[in-house]
Amino acid sequence: MATKKWLKRKPLSKKTEIALADFSPLTRQLLFSRGIETADEASRYLNPSYERDLHDPFLMTDIETAARRVIDAIYRKERVIIFGDYDADGIPGALVIESFFKRIGYNDFEAYIPDRHLEAHGLTTEAVKKFAVEGVKLIVTVDCGITNIEAVVEANKLGLDVIITDHHLTQEKLPPALAIVDAKREDDQYPFKMLAGCAVAFKLVQVILALERFNIPEGWEKWLLDLVAISTISDMVPLEGENRVLALFGLKVLRRTKRLGLQTLLGMLKIKPAYVSEDDIGFMVGPHLNSAGRMSSASQAYYLLRTDDDIEAVMIARHLVEKNKERRVLVDVILKEADFLFKDKKLPAVIVAGNPDWGLGVLGLAASRLLEKYERPIFLWSRNSRGEIKGSCRSDGSVSLVGLMQAAGGGEFFEAFGGHTVAAGFTLADGQEKELSQKLNQAFKKVEKQKVENKLEIDSEIMLDEITWGTYEDVEQFGPFGVGNPKPVFLLKNVLLESVRTFGNGGIHLELGFKNSRGGIILAIGFFTCPPTLLKEEFDSRNGHNFEDVNLARGERLDLLVNLEKSTFKARPELRLRLVDVKRAE
């Protein structure tokens, strides 16, 4: 909705204009918007290098110890467990390590993906005891483990070594593992702190191969970057610095992927592998992989990524598509019930809501949607089959969720908690959910607050005639886009609306048409901007969309904020606009 303040970014200084004179005016402005003011910086940014721009993995604390222990396990023929998380970061991350094992012909391992509906998050004492009975000697976690102190203590008692690879925030006390590889450790010297969990696993494989090649050709590990790209984009870590480089080269690998299951899923989602983009991963591939853990078993997504059987690939891909549809329905149910709870009431600083019947796997998605609406920390909970209260929480960054939970009692109140500043999870003993709102709102008064500005920054004003493939090529070189590296936002002023229509699932998407001076039609798409009209009523130009105080009737004049994008849905690529915000023309 048009509730955010529109702000134009600062124009180039004369000094920067001269320094970047070899670039197009638009490229100069976009570089300056990203803090790049010299030709050398610009060249490095616009021409990323795999060898130059990835940091030395040996800089990560404990990574060499971890790598040598894995090498020892291989030579001793010890049984190894790869313990992954149940999302689109942990699953690809576990497969990174499995792919290495399979490439060298090592088979004495098992990838274990826990069931989020039946098991607690991360490594548990129950799982450790099970592994010990099975003769396991080494556990390598992926995208989890940094808070699982009791499980690691149990592993040590039973004679199992544990290597933790994770990227979540650490707590005051670390588990007594043989090695902990997490750039967010206070004593870690790695220069980039925001890697996804899968990327940390990839770094571990890099170090293993640097110490012992196992007759693997130099550069083989680059073929694992498709998995790193999926996790980096799906987990919404900032796409800047090293993450942008990993995602960029990972997308190149993904467009040539030989993973049968991934090819099958892309086909069902009508995504052409040669054109797969960060948007395709973030809005289609990632959610479908996550739907396995949310709605059934995360192992299904794991099997899809590793299968080489045509029939299995089709069966699992169809299963994920169906589960993703069910996931959308469950999120809508939670949103409606939560909205009813707070309708016409004074909202607390922290919103807490729950129901034992809400689906555990979709709490995070629902919390994100409620955060958009209420603009304050959201905590949602449900009850699992073990009788525990499990939940997900989201913040706009005004407070750290982990810090908030620590201030609300930490380990004395929560059975378990952890995650990131803006996205986290928690577990409570049954009955404690009754105190959750009071404790969190009391804690909120004490924790440090950060100011979050509700604004949309405009990179450049543009005319309809300037929407060309040449302009798009200028924009494309700044990708991949995502959190921390948003798509450039363009302002179109006082444009005449030539056509309007809704489409998809009862008309939930919006298409606006504008005409340039050459008579060409420029289309602008707004996804999920209209309420469904299941009975096919005529489009309500004033109330049938999410843009406040705007009449979207043919002949109206509008101010638009848009992104430029390439659509590959049809036979040939098409240039179009993606709506960011709409106002009446000033």
pLDDT greater than 90 at residue 508: no
What is the C-alpha separation between 145 and 165, in angstroms, rounded? 7
Using only the alpha carbons of the chain, give its radius of gyration: 25
What is the C-alpha separation between 341 and 320, in angstroms, rounded? 32
The pLDDT value recorded for residue 416 is 87
**In the chain, domain spans:** 5-11+455-584, 57-254, 346-444
Residue 84, classed as helix, strand or coil, is strand
CA distances from 505 to 270, 523, 533 (A): 17, 20, 9
**Alpha-helical runs (H) found in 286-417:** 286-295, 299-306, 310-342, 363-374, 401-407
The pLDDT value recorded for residue 260 is 96
**Are 202 and 67 a contacting pair, CB within 8 Å?**
no
pLDDT greater than 60 at residue 3: no
What is the C-alpha separation between 166 and 145, in angstroms, rounded? 7
In tens, the pLDDT along 217-254 reads 999 999 999 999 999 999 989 999 999 999 999 999 99
Least confident of 161-175, 483-497, 521-535: 521-535
Helix-strand-coil split of the chain, %, nearest 5: 40, 20, 40
The pLDDT value recorded for residue 1 is 40
Q: What is the pTM of this model?
A: 0.85
Record: fold of 57-254 = inorganic pyrophosphatase (n-terminal core) (3.90.1640)
In tens, the pLDDT along 6-22 reads 999 888 888 999 999 99
> Two tokens at 217?
């050709």
In tens, the pLDDT along 571-584 reads 788 999 999 999 99
pLDDT tier at 2 (50, 70, 90 boundaries)?
very low
The pLDDT value recorded for residue 531 is 81
In tens, the pLDDT along 389-439 reads 999 999 988 899 999 999 999 989 998 898 888 899 999 999 999 999 999
Portion of the chain with pLDDT greater than 70, in percent: 99
Q: How many CB atoms lie within 10 A of CB 174?
A: 17
Judging by DSSP bridges, how do beta strands 574-584 and 557-567 pair with one another? Answer: antiparallel
Residue 493, classed as helix, strand or coil, is strand
Average pLDDT, integer, range 70-86: 96
CA distances from 361 to 69, 391, 467 (A): 34, 9, 41
Cis peptide bond N-terminal to 480, omega within 30: yes
Average pLDDT, integer, range 58-63: 97
pLDDT tier at 441 (50, 70, 90 boundaries)?
very high
Residue 575, classed as helix, strand or coil, is strand
In tens, the pLDDT along 124-179 reads 999 999 999 999 999 999 999 999 999 999 999 999 999 999 999 898 899 999 99
Least confident of 310-324, 339-353, 464-478: 339-353
**Are 245 and 48 a contacting pair, CB within 8 Å?**
yes
Class of domain 346-444: alpha beta
Portion of the chain with pLDDT greater than 90, in percent: 75
The pLDDT value recorded for residue 532 is 78
What is the CATH architecture assignment of 5-11+455-584?
A: Beta Barrel (2.40)
What is the C-alpha separation between 324 and 271, in angstroms, rounded? 16
The pLDDT value recorded for residue 534 is 64
pLDDT greater than 80 at residue 354: yes
The pLDDT value recorded for residue 263 is 95
